[in-house]
Amino acid sequence: MKRRLEGKTALVTGASRGIGAGIVRVMAGEGATVLAADLTKDGAVGDVQSVVLDVTSAEQWEVCAERIRDQFGRLDILVNNAGIVANTSVEDTTLEDWRRVMRVNLDAVFMGCKAMLPLLRVAGQANPSGASVINVSSTMGISALPNQSAYGTSKAGVRHLSKLLAVEWAEAGYNIRVNSIHPGTTRTPMLEQAAEIWARDFTAEGTVEAGLKALAGMAPLNRIGSPEGIGYAATFLASDESAYVTGIELPVDGGYLAR
Ligand SMILES: NC(=O)c1ccc[n+]([C@@H]2O[C@H](COP(=O)([O-])OP(=O)(O)OC[C@H]3O[C@@H](n4cnc5c(N)ncnc54)[C@H](O)[C@@H]3O)[C@@H](O)[C@H]2O)c1
């Protein structure tokens, strides 16, 4: 049987660890040719091709686009996943902290979509089911929590930019679908960092395990999600199974946003 992403080329940012690495594993397993991009080549997953790409650099996006143009002539799947957190209140966030989060989480999604547009257009014209852009936002881009001011605002921007591009590129006739995924608490190095802060501020024990338990309890399912779980959701949005799906926000959050 044909694998779900057979014949497709995918670029995944922030791919060395956590959710990005989970997406790479699932997409490669479904037959995609995956380019795994991150700040360095350390920690690249399996035998996929790795690319050094700081998503905040317009020049590096152009170099990456050239490489994909030369090697494949088109890009079927773009996953904008790279992201950083800043667990601070508005009061404690400096303008530089704010801008740093916006640069990585939001400006880079804009830059990546622009740089890859010509290659996505080629794929959109070649495949009736369309090329696919998947932007990794967060539940925090929809629902507000204290200490998530810069992060939550950047992720709300990612959600809206995704919808805007979905409409703009559909109406332009490019046949490029754009959707956002909204992970809830997902077991990654980023979450472990957040758990430390949660443990300190909100649990009696103060340990990382207690922090993780408290974070798990925020979701009705009362457990933490896996990077592969985000990979499966991304694979659906990347595959021809979702040919008529564009402009949606897909939570993978154990029911957190359903409350
Ligand atoms: N883990 C969660 O619970 C959770 C929940 C909601 C949303 N998210 C989002 O999922 C995405 C991945 O998160 P994660 O938990 O895997 O984080 P992580 O910190 O474990 O991994 C992030 C990866 O992005 C890379 N990265 C950071 N800045 C970069 C840059 N400028 N250029 C290229 N790569 C860069 C890092 O090197 C790292 O490999 C992020 O956008 C995050 O906001 C995570």
**Residue identifier of the C-alpha nearest atom 40 of ligand 1:** 83
Domains and CATH numbers, the chain: 9-186+226-258 (3.40.50.720), 187-224 (no CATH)
Q: How far is the CA of 140 from the centre of ligand 1 (A)?
A: 14
Sheet holding 131-136, edge to edge: 49-52, 33-38, 9-13, 77-80, 131-136, 176-183, 249-252
Bridge partners of residue 51, in order along the sequence: 37
Q: What is the mean pLDDT of each run of 10 residues along the chain (259 residues)?
A: 94 98 98 97 78 98 98 98 94 97 98 99 98 98 94 98 98 98 97 88 88 94 98 98 98 98
- Closest approach atom of ligand 1 to CA 108: 31
| Candidate from 155, 190, 223, 224 with most ligand 1 atoms within 8 A of CB, to mutate | 190
**Exposure string for 209-220, b = 16+ CB within 10 A, e = fewer:** ebbbbbbbebbe
Give, for 177, the enclosing helix (H) or strand (E).
strand 176-183
Q: What is the pTM of this model?
A: 0.97
**Which residues are near ligand 1 (CB < 6 Å)?**
13-14, 16-20, 38-39, 53-56, 81-84, 104, 136, 138, 183, 185-186, 188-191
232 is catalytic: no
